[in-house]
Amino acid sequence: KQEVTQIPAALSVPEGENLVLNCSFTDSAIYNLQWFRQDPGKGLTSLLLIQSSQREQTSGRLNASLDKSSGRSTLYIAASQPGDSATYLCAVCPPGGGNKLTFGTGTQLKVEL
Amino acid sequence: GAVVSQHPSWVICKSGTSVKIECRSLDFQATTMFWYRQFPKQSLMLMATSNEGSKATYEQGVEKDKFLINHASLTLSTLTVTSAHPEDSSFYICSASGDYPEIQYFGAGTRLSVL
């Protein structure tokens, strides 16, 4: 059974700092991996999707990497802003799994002024 | 584009009553919809997957008679929590996928509080 873990569970950084969020998964047989953002009491916003054949994806100040063989992904946020404060979730999709996502436990990020 | 609307956003009900939550894809045809449950400070747990016109597939441990899912059209799925109890209080989120099955679009969630 796939298990997805995110470290740290919570992170507080000053504005402007670059930071890295970590995601690890136990079964390397994945179809893709996604990073989502969730604001308090809200749904999810997709940030980046990395296919299993890809190493990284970039969108603006966000860069996500994938090392499938070691079961790890990182989300790099450059020049953090208070508006980046949210919970970040990673999720993996199994091959041929009908897009049934397994979510990580999340990292709650707070960017302080 | 690709907007999923979930209604209501918050509902309070008495124990023993049933509650219906709607999930609509506003600008695309959702061939598959997913229902998740999220407890405070925990991750999302998939409850069931539904394809338009067919019965939902429930994850292990999810009572199908307790959580009734209907996906009668390509734009609407409903989750009915029957005979709700306080332990059913949670945050319920739906998602939908269409032409690109690997992409799920999420609703804003429904907070259910059972008194």
DSSP class per residue in A17-60: --EEEEEEES----SEEEEEEE-TTS-EEEEEEEETT-SEEEET
* Model confidence pLDDT, tens digit, residues A81-105: 999 999 999 999 988 756 789 999 8
pLDDT grade for B111, boundaries at 50, 70 and 90? very high
Q: Please list the residues that pair with A108 across neighbouring strands.
A: A10, A87
CB atoms within 10 A of CB A8: 11
pLDDT grade for A62, boundaries at 50, 70 and 90? very high
Interface test with B, best of A103, A107, A109 (most B CBs within 10 A): A103
pLDDT > 90: what percent of chain A? 85
* Model confidence pLDDT, tens digit, residues B25-77: 998 898 899 999 998 878 899 999 998 888 899 999 999 999 999 988 899 99
Q: Least CB-CB distance to B49: which of A4, A45, A100?
A: A100
Structural contact between residues B93 and B7, judged by C-beta atoms closer than 8 angstroms: no
pLDDT of residue B102: 75
Q: Which tokens belong to B58?
A: 């429930």
C-alpha distance from B111 to closest chain A C-alpha (Å): 8
